[in-house]
Amino acid sequence: MANQPLWSLGSRNITPPADPTLLRLDQKTYAYHTKAQIALIPYSSQAGGYFSKFAESGTPTSFTESPLHCPENQAIAGKLKLLSEAIGIEIAHLVVAYLFHRPFPVVPIVGCRIASQMEDSFKSLDIQLSIEVIEELHNLDPW
């Protein structure tokens, strides 16, 4: 048994999907997963690359009309850039590794177009984040 909501570091800051069958992770569901220890399989776990691309080039033109593009997520992108540089981990790996450090099982769905992107995403499995880094990320996405 598992749930498959929209969930990334920036998903709380966007308008919920127009399609009523697509749900964003909310506080109640997060608490349920924590208590029941049921797996969560979030889609768009890397926010479509928003944070990596924003940190690399400012506002990527492909995201100017995206619901992810908002002041809150721009602030998260800036903080992720500083944190990733400080600990030497790419932003794409950091946002996925953070999901693995939840109090319940998480199997993030990543959107890879080519094999090398999938191989790169697997690096997130081996990242052990310090308690301090987890707390910093939690402050960006408090539950």
Report the chain (143 residues): mean pLDDT per 10 consecutive residues: 90 84 91 96 90 77 79 92 93 91 92 79 84 92 78
- Per DSSP, helices labelled H in the chain are 27-36, 50-57, 71-87, 91-100, 115-122, 131-140
At 63 the pLDDT is: 73
For the chain, which residues make up each domain, given as ranges? 2-7+35-140
Supply the Cα-derived Rg of the chain in whole angstroms.
Answer: 14
* Torsional sign, CA 137, 135, 87, 130: negative
CATH architecture of 2-7+35-140: Alpha-Beta Barrel (3.20)
φ, ψ at 66 (rounded to 5°): -75, 145
Burial class (CB in 10 A: 0-12, 13-18, 19+), 83: middle
At 59 the pLDDT is: 65
Instruction: Report the run of H or E that residue 2 belongs to, with start and end.
Output: strand 2-3
At 91 the pLDDT is: 92
At 61 the pLDDT is: 67
At 83 the pLDDT is: 95
What separation in angstroms does the CA of 51 have from each of 13, 14, 27, 58, 59? 13, 14, 23, 10, 10
DSSP at 102: S
At 21 the pLDDT is: 85
